[in-house]
Structure formats: structure tokens, C-alpha cells
Amino acid sequence: MPLFSTIKSLEEVLPPCSNFQIYFSNEEDKFGDDRRVDFAYMPDLAIERPRNVSVRLKGQHGKYVMVQLYFAAKWMLVSEVTFVSGEGRYEVLDSLWHTGQS
């Protein structure tokens, strides 16, 4: 299922965590390392609350987006991911996420 109805040029992502990879594609199931954004932020071991993270995407474009989240704890709460483009903000909710684990 495409994330966007048309190809979008994205400027920023506001993820719910600080360690992830994002892949972009204009075709379904055609994700490659050449269109990947990696992000790893210094862990905060003192505060257990989530913190806001903003990552610049520098015009990455795609109709399909795959996000891989990495964490060091047993649980991860994902509420939403927001993508920002010149056209507006796009919030992705839990109905689009698939973890592959039970």
C-alpha cells in the first residue's frame, strides 16, 4: 500500500524514536540502500519519557516509504510518524505499521 497518493518530495521526518532507517521508493517493494536515510541519536539514559527528534531529509522523494526502527529496550511504543513536505504535514498512524513479530 503506498504511503502517499503521489510521489512526494520530503524535507523532514519526526519519528517516535532516535534509531532508525528510512527507505524511499517510487515503486512498490523496490527499496534499495541507495535511497536510505540512517539516523542514530545519542541515547538518553536519564529520562524515560520520549523526546522529540527532527531529521532533515533534504528532498528525498517517494510514494512508498519503509521505516525500520531499532531500540535497546524490551518494548517500544509507536504512536505516529510525521513527514513534512512543501505541501504540508503527513501523519502516519499505527494502521500502516507491520513489525513481523508477535
pLDDT at 93: 57
Tell me the sheet residues that pair with 68. 21
Q: Structural domain boundaries of the chain?
A: 8-96
Q: Cα(76)–Cα(89) distance, rounded to whole angstroms?
A: 24
Q: What is the pLDDT of residues 63-85, one digit of tens each?
A: 888 888 777 667 776 767 788 88
> Which residue do the cell numbers 504511503 mark?
3
pLDDT digits (tens, 9 = 90+) for 36-56: 988 887 776 777 666 677 888
Residue 48: Cβ within 10 Å count: 7
pLDDT for 95 beyond 70: no
